[in-house]
Structure 1
Amino acid sequence: MALKIRFFLTIFVVLVIVLPKISAHSSIQEVLRSYGLPAGLFPESIKSYSLDHNGVLEVKLDSPCIVKYETRVFFETVVRANLSFGQLKGLEGLSQEELFLWLPVKDIMVNDPSSGLIVIDIGLAYKQLSLSLFEVPPVCRSQGFVKNKAGRKSIGFEDQR
């Protein structure tokens, strides 16, 4: 009987104490891959991230910045989304430039990995891009962008060169 209690206590300790620490040390790229998403969806300059038991992913960057995939993408300091297999739904803190307009990215989906395509929902339309654009975490560059309440961004003069 005492052996059974020790066994269950050992299992409990492993599940409650050890496993969360192992998963806490995995990188955001590993987390994205384990959910069927490409590793390069977020820039390499991530300060920290958290994933709660409800699937809410919060990614923190040192500062707002821009990444160039096929078009330019603006990352705010904090990006949040609901993470499920092959999907980032209800994104907050991410905008994509389309025809000189910055549109919020609502969802990112990989519906069929064998297609080699990723679907970006920008509210007005769905864009299909090659998954190969998102294989490696990109370098995020500060472009002097400041987002105001109206959703416009102004560019610092020195960063336009």
Structure 2
Amino acid sequence: MAPFPVLLLWLLLVRLPLCHSTSIHDLLKSMGLPPGLFPKEVKSYSFSGSGLLQVYLDGPCLTRFDTMALYESELRANLTHGSLTGVQGLSQEELFLWLPVKDIIVNDPTSGLILFDIGLAHKQLSLSLFEDPPDCATNSRLKELRGRNEKGFV
């Protein structure tokens, strides 16, 4: 029988190639989160042993779940089973204001709900909204929103 540290090292080495070949959407599913939390346009990602998840897009993009969501070109969060905490780089439109999403949590998958902490409030949404990765728009709508922001409207 192999000593425990050797066995552990062997398991880690066998598993590492699988981690790098999986998509961000597969990683989310394996961690108890819906695959559609990030858009199809994810260019790459890194996930460290400490739980830090970094997701990279070609540029900022806009999509819609229950309201509009804006992804920056780089997103960061701490990923643990069932949660993304300390999210940076994702905002949701609420009553004409763009509010940063701070945490995304699935407490009980059987409830069919996912919790979004947007600072001022917690929103519970249907998990079904996040079954499939959304398409992301980088078109004139995004430029329009950026222009408003620079002028102080958003």
Per-residue deviation, 1:12 = 7.2
**Aligned position for 1:61:** 57
Q: Bigger shift: 111-120 or 136-145?
A: 136-145
Higher Rg of the two aligned structures: 1
**SS of the counterpart of 1:153?**
helix
Structure 2, gaps ≥5 residues long: 149-154
Structure 1, gaps ≥5 residues long: 147-151, 156-161
**Residue 78 (1) aligns with residue 74 (2):** yes
Q: Give the number of aligned pairs.
A: 145
* TM norm structure 2: 0.86
* TM norm structure 1: 0.82
**Distance (whole Å) between structure 2 residues aligned to residue 50 and residue 111 of structure 1:** 24
**Distance (whole Å) between structure 2 residues aligned to residue 34 and residue 128 of structure 1:** 22
Q: Which of 22, 38, 42 is residue 42 of structure 1 equivalent to? A: 38
Amino acid at match of 1:27: S
**Distance (whole Å) between structure 2 residues aligned to residue 127 and residue 88 of structure 1:** 15
In structure 2, the CA distance between the partners of 1:140 and 1:53, relative to structure 1 (3 Å rule), is same
Q: Bigger shift: 33-42 or 12-21?
A: 12-21
Percentage of pairs with the same residue: 51
In structure 2, the CA distance between the partners of 1:49 and 1:94, relative to structure 1 (3 Å rule), is same
In structure 2, the CA distance between the partners of 1:132 and 1:124, relative to structure 1 (3 Å rule), is same
Give the aligned CA root-mean-square deviation in angstroms: 2.1
Q: Which of 146, 151, 154 is residue 153 of structure 1 equivalent to? A: 146
Deviations 1:23-72 (A, max 9, x none): 11011111101111000000000000010000000000011000111100
**Aligned position for 1:149:** none
**Residue 130 (1) aligns with residue 126 (2):** yes
**Distance (whole Å) between structure 1 residues aligned to residue 30 and residue 13 of structure 2:** 21
